[in-house]
């Protein structure tokens, strides 16, 4: 069921921010089209109406689409042309994509309309805002987009719903016919006119929305990864000296690495466990999964920063084909091609998969009595009778393995379509869909390390953890019990996942390390 929101996002002729997308997609923020945007939309529409009434060939206004672009369409058939476009392109299959993805997609398509470069009428843009504000979510099947010309099928399913056709979920999540949901909300269906159908589907909005959401989620998980790494370092009697500031910024000024190292150094401050073996000359260096945590975690942070830069540029763009220029010219272009977005979606999947991989290596080390510096096998309460966290690592390994498969880039693929007119496509939508799974899996991988490292720390009897990690363990123990005989483990792991996704793990650490990044 949708929740009410006090937030409002004002759409002008310029771009939008990450915060705007998240507010609308996840927090049900209301969307208002500014007076400036309304004026720009209305001004551009006059140009389209002039072309629609004339005989000059204009792609998508007086011609067919794609491989049929050379066919002239009579004036009397041009409204039907737009309707037919939406109906034929709403050809997706498979399960419905998530509500937040569809809301992001609709919001970003509306954002392009607000630039005044698409040629739609004001009332068309307003229906998109009305859908968002009423909490109505079109059913968008998962499969159908090649990422060029934009996310055609997903956007078509949204446009179909605006026409009062197809299916939607209402504000309560109930599946129903679009016309019924619109009637209940007092929204009149769109009667598409010249160019409007084309303007509603030629965009990178689906893959872009998923990119913004993924960057947001991965940034938060990077902080979680620093926390779980710090806890594992304590559990394995690792050192904090390798995270000292003088070993990072002056020697290797990688921005993400510096941030991650600073987090780890602060999280381990005043750790009695770390202090207990600081003068142990028999331990020369920690394993890479401990010592190199800021190098790996930091590289993920830098990848997110790069991807966010690309997403930020796309959020300032007006993606449509053809586009209406300020002087009234209608020009074809290729800006709908999803390559810039698709590449970074794949890049993020690779980075996130590796972040999970190094986490699993720390977990496995804590469970192996030969590498855990004195911890009991599998952190079992009574080894032999109890299996402890043995199979939790199996689950984690399975998730890591799946993420490695999902890290195979989608954007290196292309398959011709539309009678070879669209002979090179981005597969950006596919890259986005698999990235969402990678991020979901990563939260589970880190949850297993969280549970494992907390138990390892508690096995270090008589040694106090750092105040920051102690705070995290206290929050964890509210939902996951500590050391004891074997019990049904799955619900405890799920509880740890929910704790991470809720932000409470980071919140607990920030009670001590207030400048945690």
| 143 phi and psi angles, rounded to 5 deg | -105, 140
Residue 254 confidence (pLDDT): 98
Report residue 363 as tokens: 């977990």
- The tens digit of pLDDT for each residue in 295-342 reads 999 999 999 999 999 999 999 999 999 999 999 999 999 999 999 999
- The tens digit of pLDDT for each residue in 348-364 reads 999 999 999 999 999 99
- The tens digit of pLDDT for each residue in 99-121 reads 999 999 999 999 999 999 999 99
Mean pLDDT of 394-423: 94
CA-based nearest residue to 166, from 86, 81, 78, 82:
86
Report residue 249 as tokens: 């910024």
* Residue from 47, 51, 59, 343 carrying the catalytic annotation: 59
Is the pLDDT at 423 greater than 80? The verdict is yes
Pick from 5-9, 45-49, 106-110, 467-471: least confident: 5-9
Enclosing H/E stretch for 513 = none
Residues 6+ apart with CB under 8 A from 346: 407, 409, 410, 411, 412, 431, 435
**Residue 357 CA, distance from chain mean position:** 20
Residue 1 confidence (pLDDT): 45
Percent of the chain with pLDDT over 90: 87
CA-based nearest residue to 260, from 284, 224, 212:
224
Q: How many angstroms separate the CA atoms of 449 and 367, rounded?
A: 11
Provide the 8-state DSSP code for 331. E
Enclosing H/E stretch for 386 = none
Q: How many angstroms separate the CA atoms of 494 and 444, rounded?
A: 8
Q: Are 224 and 444 in contact (CB under 8 A)?
A: no
Residue 281 confidence (pLDDT): 67
Q: How many angstroms separate the CA atoms of 145 and 138, rounded?
A: 16
Is the pLDDT at 188 greater than 80? The verdict is yes
How much is the mean pLDDT over the chain?
94
Is the pLDDT at 214 greater than 50? The verdict is yes
For every residue of 97-124, which 3-state class applies, written as one string?
CCHHHHHHHHHHHHHHHHCCCCCCCHHH
Residue 150 confidence (pLDDT): 83
Mean pLDDT of 453-473: 98
Residue 29 confidence (pLDDT): 98
Going along the chain from its start, the domains and CATH numbers come out as 8-203 (1.10.275.10), 210-320+352-417+424-510 (1.20.200.10)
**Burial of residue 132 (number of CB atoms within 10 Å: 0-12, 13-18, 19+):** buried
Mean pLDDT of 432-452: 98
CA max distance for the chain: 88
CA-based nearest residue to 25, from 128, 135, 126, 130:
135
Q: With DSSP H G I counted as helix, E B as strand and the rest as coil, what are the percentages for the chain, rounded to 5?
A: 55, 5, 35
Is the pLDDT at 72 greater than 60? The verdict is yes
Q: Which residues pair with 330 in a beta bridge?
A: 324
Q: How many angstroms separate the CA atoms of 400 and 196, rounded?
A: 45
* Of residues 3 and 90, more confidently modeled: 90
Residue 158 confidence (pLDDT): 98
Q: Do strands 137-138 and 323-324 pair parallel, antiparallel, or not at all (unpaired)?
A: unpaired
Residues 305-344 as b/e (b if ≥16 CB within 10 A, e otherwise) read eebbebbeebbebbbbbbbbeeeeebeeeebbbbbbbbbb
Q: Which residues pair with 143 in a beta bridge?
A: 93
Is the pLDDT at 213 greater than 90? The verdict is yes
Mean pLDDT of 75-83: 79
- The tens digit of pLDDT for each residue in 253-275 reads 999 999 999 999 999 999 999 99
Mean pLDDT of 404-414: 96
59 is catalytic: yes
For the chain, the straight-line distance linking the first and the last C-alpha, in angstroms and rounded, comes to 33
Q: Which sign, positive or negative, has the C-alpha torsion 447, 344, 516, 296?
A: positive
Mean pLDDT of 285-302: 97
Q: How many angstroms separate the CA atoms of 326 and 120, rounded?
A: 14
Return the SS3 of 169: strand
Mean pLDDT of 445-469: 98
Is the pLDDT at 465 greater than 70? The verdict is yes
């Amino acid at each position: 069921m949708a929740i009410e929101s006090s937030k409002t996002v004002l759409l002008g002729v310029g771009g939008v921010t990450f915060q705007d997308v998240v507010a609308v997609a996840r927090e049900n923020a209301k969307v208002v089209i500014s007076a400036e945007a309304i004026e720009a939309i209305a001004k551009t529409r006059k140009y389209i109406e002039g072309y629609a009434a004339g005989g000059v060939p204009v792609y998508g206004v007086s011609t067919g689409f794609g491989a049929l672009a050379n066919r002239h369409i009579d004036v009397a058939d041009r409204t039907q042309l737009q309707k037919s476009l939406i109906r034929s392109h709403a050809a997706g299959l498979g399960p419905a994509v998530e509500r937040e993805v569809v809301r992001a997609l609709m919001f970003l398509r509306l954002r392009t309309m607000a630039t005044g470069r698409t040629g739609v009428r004001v009332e068309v843009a307003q229906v998109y805002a009305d859908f968002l504000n009423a909490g109505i979510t079109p059913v968008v099947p998962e499969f159908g987009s090649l990422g060029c010309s934009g996310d055609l099928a997903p956007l078509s399913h949204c446009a179909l719903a605006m026409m009062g056709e197809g299916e939607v979920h209402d504000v309560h999540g109930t599946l129903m016919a679009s016309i019924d949901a619109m009637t209940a909300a007092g929204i009149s269906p769109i009667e598409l006119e010249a160019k409007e159908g084309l303007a509603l589907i030629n965009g990178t909005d689906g893959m872009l929305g998923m990119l913004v959401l993924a960057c947001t989620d991965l940034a938060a998980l990077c902080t979680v990864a620093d926390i779980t790494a710090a806890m594992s370092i304590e559990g394995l009697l690792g050192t904090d000296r390798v995270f000292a500031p003088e070993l990072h910024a002056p020697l290797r000024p990688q921005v993400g690495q510096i941030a991650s190292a600073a987090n780890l150094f602060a999280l381990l401050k005043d750790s009695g466990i770390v202090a207990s073996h600081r003068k142990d000359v028999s331990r020369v260096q920690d394993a890479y999964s401990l010592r190199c945590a800021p190098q790996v975690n930091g590289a993920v942070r830098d990848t997110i920063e790069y991807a966010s830069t690309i997403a930020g540029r796309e959020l300032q763009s007006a993606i449509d084909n053809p586009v209406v220029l300020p002087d009234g010219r209608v020009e074809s272009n290729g800006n709908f091609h999803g390559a810039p977005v698709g590449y970074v979606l794949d890049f993020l999947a690779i980075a996130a998969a590796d972040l999970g991989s190094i986490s699993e290596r720390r977990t496995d080390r804590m469970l192996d009595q030969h590498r855990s510096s004195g911890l009991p096998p599998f952190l079992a309460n009574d080894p032999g009778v109890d299996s402890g966290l043995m199979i939790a690592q199996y689950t984690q390994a399975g998730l890591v393995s799946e993420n490695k498969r999902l890290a195979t880039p989608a954007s290196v693929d292309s398959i011709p379509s539309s009678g070879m007119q669209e002979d090179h496509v981005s597969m950006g939508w596919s890259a986005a869909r698999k990235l969402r799974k990678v991020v979901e899996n990563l939260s589970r991988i880190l949850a297993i390390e969280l549970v494992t490292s907390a138990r390892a720390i508690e096995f270090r009897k008589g040694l106090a953890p750092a105040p920051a990690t102690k705070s995290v363990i206290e929050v964890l123990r509210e939902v996951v019990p500590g050391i004891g005989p074997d019990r049904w483990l799955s619900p405890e792991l799920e509880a740890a996942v929910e704790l991470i996704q809720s932000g409470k793990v980071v919140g607990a650490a920030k009670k001590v390390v207030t400048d945690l990044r």
